[in-house]
Amino acid sequence: MGLLSLGTPLPWEQAKGLAHEVRQHGIEQFLHIWRSTKDRQKDRLLWGDEIEYMLISLDHENRRARLSQRGHELLTTLQVEENESQKLANQTGAKPNLEALWRPEFGRYMIEGTPGHPYNSTVSELASVEANMKRRREIVSSLMKDNEVILSVGSYPQLGSGDFLEPPHKANGAFSQSLFLPDEVINPHPRFRTLAANIRQRRESKVRINMPVFHDLNTPQPFVDPTIPYDRNLFAGDKEAKEGAALPDHIYMDAMGFGMGCCCLQITLQAPNVDQARRLYDQLATVGAVMMSLSASSPIFRGYLADVDCRWNVIAAAVDDRTPEERGERPLAKDRFVINKSRYGTIDTFLGAEDGLFKPEYNDLPLVYDHDIYKYLLDNDIDELLAKHIAHLFIRDPLVIFEELLDQDDAISADHFENIQSTNWQNVRFKLPPPNSPIGWRVEFRPLEVQLTDFENAAFSVFTVLLARALLAFPDINLYIPVTKMDINMERAHHRDAVLDERFFFHRSCPADNQNYLAELTANEIINGCAEFVGLVPIVQMYLDSISVAHTVRRRIDNYILFIRGRANGTIMTAAAWMRNFVRNHPAYKFDSAVSSEINYDLAVALDNIASGRLPAPELLGAGNTA
């Protein structure tokens, strides 16, 4: 979720007057970090994953599945061991030895788990990833009630629909002011409610999220959602749905919680130095869309089947804090820029690296950036591409400012920089070394949808890590495409069954000339290879063949790769396709796009049975694979 600080969050009316000050200090903090760490070399290829879970309460008697607000309660218990270990480490200097770390997420029903320490740079450690993921699930499960389960799915099908929360609450909260979501779904950490309120206040309206509905045989045409309380008059924004915010033929959502209440799988990779981090940032950004299509797991929103498979655009709209002027709906008067997209989206500019592969035409999007910050960074010896990247991030306002953290020593703190950086949620994130830390330059890979089972999450994590290492080992591999084509790819990746039906812009392996390097390829062609492109799987296999790998480790890795191959060629279903098929084959489904509480209950039970290994699902996991 980004930077989590403790303190007193300022309401928007106070925070907006401090935005310039935070940006100024953030830039100074960036420069201090840059000067002290730009020459770091030979950092180990450490990495880690983040998996987000939902806690669900099953009411077997009434056949209901509800999100449980006990997620926050469990999180508090889970963090006791970590806090005690950290206290002991501070006293003795000993390094904490923990199996897992636990962090809050936006939803009170959510828990984020990571390995207790980064995985090391050896290939053999990749064989331990799945076991660690299983152990995390076991640790959470040991604290649950008999009727509770944890699921790792992209979106909860009935979030904001009917009887979806335990204990129940009415949707009348002052922070979100949602027609559907009570504020009680929000984690009680002071950052989260303030974030929801400040986004709404900054944009001068509630967020507007519209996902196209899946038109089934009996879905009304046009589809106008009968569950929207159009006539509610509790808050000023209640009228927005009736005045056009809720689009016909779409599933309408109106609060940050619909986006940040989704779950994901993220992977952070440390690079040997800043240049290698820049290469990883650029090259991994271009594969984000196709990887997202392979991992698709979000086909249902607010109780309706959607005509999309992924959650990315839901989150982008859920945190879109742009004002009417920034959205281009009014002439600029109070604001500084017209901004073309939400602060959650694909990157807008490449960083370039010393591999010599970057060309200016790849940065073909007219970049909006703070020209004063850009000039100041150039004057302080930051190169043009990195200066534009930072100046682009800093067109945004800080969304949450803690009163206690305003006064900082910019030489030893990064809080103001991270305040801006951590709320630019892009498909990859270029992460600076923290001040006075052994942690190096890192890249966070963010587009993956979380998978139902530990096997799948391990497969996607291991494949991503191996692809990153192959990109570092083979510096002549060039995956650059224009930024505008990357945006198109991401839109296509959302579509229903995109992994099978869509084509994505990609860089040919051996283009005939510099003007003919782009091809439109299927996910199967990009992953498994074709005449136009060698394939990401063959690149990973070429890397594995170039190093020494124990037979048992290689066998496990090869099984993960076989799974990735199957997802790409269609022999293994995505979770999104599996869930849509489950709903459409349920005896209570009326082919009207509506996912009832009964269907939702049976779906939750089935997903838990698969995740726990009680229900074989070779169509989802591949033959012979279990959770």
Signed CA dihedral, 555, 561, 566, 569: sign only:
negative
Peptide bond into 222 cis (omega under 30): yes
Average pLDDT over residues 549-573: 97
Q: Letter for the amino acid at 422?
A: S
Predicted local confidence at residue 625, as pLDDT: 86
Predicted local confidence at residue 248, as pLDDT: 98
Contact yes or no for 444/424 (Cβ under 8 A): no
Q: Pick the more confident residue, 265 or 89.
A: 265
* Residues 6 or more apart whose Cβ sits within 8 Å of residue 96: 82, 85, 86, 88, 89, 116, 117
Give the Cα-Cα-Cα angle 175, 181, 187 (nearest 5 degrees).
60
Average pLDDT over residues 542-564: 97
Contact yes or no for 73/306 (Cβ under 8 A): no
Enter the tokens of residue 524: 């199967």
Is 593 a residue whose pLDDT tops 90? yes
Contact yes or no for 307/213 (Cβ under 8 A): yes
The rounded percent of the chain whose pLDDT value lies above 90 is: 93
Predicted local confidence at residue 2, as pLDDT: 47
Signed CA dihedral, 578, 579, 580, 586: sign only:
positive
Instruction: Characterize 498-522 residue by residue with b for buried, 16 or more Cβ atoms within 10 angstroms of its Cβ, and e for exposed.
Output: bbbebebbbbbbeeeeeeebbbebb
Is 627 a residue whose pLDDT tops 80? no
Predicted local confidence at residue 92, as pLDDT: 84
Contact yes or no for 295/427 (Cβ under 8 A): no
Three-state DSSP class for 44?
A: coil
Of 61-75, 203-217, 236-250, 505-519, the least confident: 505-519
Contact yes or no for 63/601 (Cβ under 8 A): yes
* Residues 6 or more apart whose Cβ sits within 8 Å of residue 544: 123, 466, 554, 557
Contact yes or no for 544/557 (Cβ under 8 A): yes
Predicted local confidence at residue 6, as pLDDT: 65
Quick one: which of 490, 468, 463 has its CA closest to 568?
Answer: 463
What is the spatial distance between Cα 266 and Cα 89, in angstroms, rounded to a whole number? Answer: 28
Is 93 a residue whose pLDDT tops 70? yes
Predicted local confidence at residue 4, as pLDDT: 56
Is 145 a residue whose pLDDT tops 90? yes
Kind plus residue range of the DSSP H or E element containing 463: helix 454-473
Signed CA dihedral, 83, 86, 90, 94: sign only:
positive
Per-residue pLDDT tens over the stretch 242-295: 999 999 999 999 999 999 999 999 999 999 999 999 999 999 999 999 999 999
Over the chain, what is the mean pLDDT? 96
Contact yes or no for 133/453 (Cβ under 8 A): no
What is the spatial distance between Cα 307 and Cα 211, in angstroms, rounded to a whole number? Answer: 7
* Residues 6 or more apart whose Cβ sits within 8 Å of residue 304: 161, 213, 214, 225, 251, 593, 594, 595
Is 1 a residue whose pLDDT tops 50? no
Quick one: which of 157, 185, 174, 279 has its CA closest to 589?
Answer: 157
What is the spatial distance between Cα 266 and Cα 182, in angstroms, rounded to a whole number? Answer: 27
Is 81 a residue whose pLDDT tops 90? no
5 pLDDT band (50/70/90 cuts)? Answer: low
Look at phi and psi of residue 300 and say left if phi exceeds 0, alpha if psi is from -120 to 50, else beta: beta
Predicted local confidence at residue 415, as pLDDT: 96
Enter the tokens of residue 75: 């999180």
Is 3 a residue whose pLDDT tops 70? no
Bridge partners, 212 (sequence order): 250
Per-residue pLDDT tens over the stretch 348-374: 999 999 999 999 999 999 999 999 999
Peptide bond into 167 cis (omega under 30): yes
Is 533 a residue whose pLDDT tops 90? yes
Per-residue pLDDT tens over the stretch 303-359: 999 999 999 999 999 999 999 999 999 999 999 999 999 999 999 999 999 999 999
The rounded percent of the chain whose pLDDT value lies above 70 is: 99
Look at phi and psi of residue 445 and say left if phi exceeds 0, alpha if psi is from -120 to 50, else beta: beta
Q: What is the DSSP string of 367-417?
A: ----HHHHHHHHHTT--HHHHHHHHHHTTSPPS--BGGGSS--TTT--HHH
* Residues 6 or more apart whose Cβ sits within 8 Å of residue 395: 336, 337, 339, 368, 369, 370
DSSP 586: S
Enter the tokens of residue 410: 């910019």
96 pLDDT band (50/70/90 cuts)? Answer: confident
